[in-house]
Amino acid sequence: MTETDRIARAYQELEARAGARWSLANRGNQSILNERRRVFRRLLERAGWLPLGDRRVIEVGSGTGWELAQMVELGGKPARLVGVDLLPDRVATARRDYPEIEFHHANAEKLDFPDASFDLVMAFTIFSSILERAMAQNVASEIARVLKPGGGLLWYDVRYDSVSNPNVKAVPRSRVKELFPGLSGELETVTLLPPLARRLGPATPLAYPVLAALPPLRSHLIGLLRKPR
């Protein structure tokens, strides 16, 4: 089995048994999403990139397109947004739900775009799913290639291995630097451990910010990594 086959099978199996795990009816999931979006906005505001306007944005591993479509709320123009995903069924769903956005079915080891095509690249929980180091480096190299000088990589991924899913491996700061030696920027910890956050129930509004303030309980790294001009 190739690494691309393994990744596709892992996602299919995960979705088949996910149930309501990611449902936004769960208050913990709502808090995770809201916190992440607040940090993204802060990072982009600090860079002076809001509203996004005519900036061209690509999401690698765009799934069903929801995260990419949220860039419209930050001033992005749908015609300037592009998504790429390995799974054809996800691409089909994204094209159906967001017909004004461009989506491609492709392996991100080979992005069919010229050098320096995008102002912003989004990579959310993608590299933790790529276990083969060579493939991860290929994807990282393509991201760096299509990123414009002065552009940025909006990063969000896990810093802990998954206890329940052997197909998810931590991507610590040292590994991010190894993957993107030409990019610079700070990564910060964010997101209360999801299995804990989802169990907070009615106490979520009070308990989530208190628990998320404890660094060991924050499961992900987030940041905007910049390419030199």
Given a contact cutoff of 8 angstroms between Cβ atoms, the answer to whether 126 and 160 are in contact is no
Place of tokens 């610590």: 172
What pLDDT, on the 0 to 100 scale, is given for residue 3? 92
For residue 39, name the pLDDT band (cuts at 50, 70, 90).
very high
Per-residue model confidence as pLDDT tens digits over 93-128:
999 999 999 999 999 999 999 999 999 999 999 999
State how far the Cα of 60 lies from the Cα of 218, in Å rounded to an integer: 24
Strand order in the sheet with 187-192: 102-105, 81-85, 57-60, 118-124, 147-158, 218-226, 187-192
Angle at 202 between CA 65 and CA 221, to 5 degrees: 45
pTM higher than 0.85: yes
Q: Which two tokens stand for residue 224?
A: 């905007």
What pLDDT, on the 0 to 100 scale, is given for residue 129? 95
> What percentage of the chain has pLDDT greater than the value 90?
89
Q: What DSSP designation does 76 have?
A: B
What pLDDT, on the 0 to 100 scale, is given for residue 12? 81
Query: What rounded mean pLDDT belongs to the chain?
Result: 95
Closest Cα partner for 67 from 113, 36, 88?
36
State how far the Cα of 92 lies from the Cα of 104, in Å rounded to an integer: 9
Give the pLDDT mean for 54-71. 97
What is the separation of C-alpha 29 from the centre of its chain, rounded to a whole number of angstroms?
Answer: 16
> What percentage of the chain has pLDDT greater than the value 70?
99
For residue 1, name the pLDDT band (cuts at 50, 70, 90).
confident
Q: Which two tokens stand for residue 228?
A: 């030199």
Q: Which two tokens stand for residue 219?
A: 């499961």
Per-residue model confidence as pLDDT tens digits over 151-193:
999 999 999 998 888 999 999 999 999 999 999 999 999 999 9
What pLDDT, on the 0 to 100 scale, is given for residue 180? 98
Give the pLDDT mean for 202-216. 97
Give the pLDDT mean for 52-61. 98
Closest Cα partner for 154 from 59, 52, 64?
59
The domains of the chain, with CATH numbers, are: 3-226 (3.40.50.150)
Radius of gyration of the chain (CA): 17
Residue 19 pLDDT more than 70? Answer: no
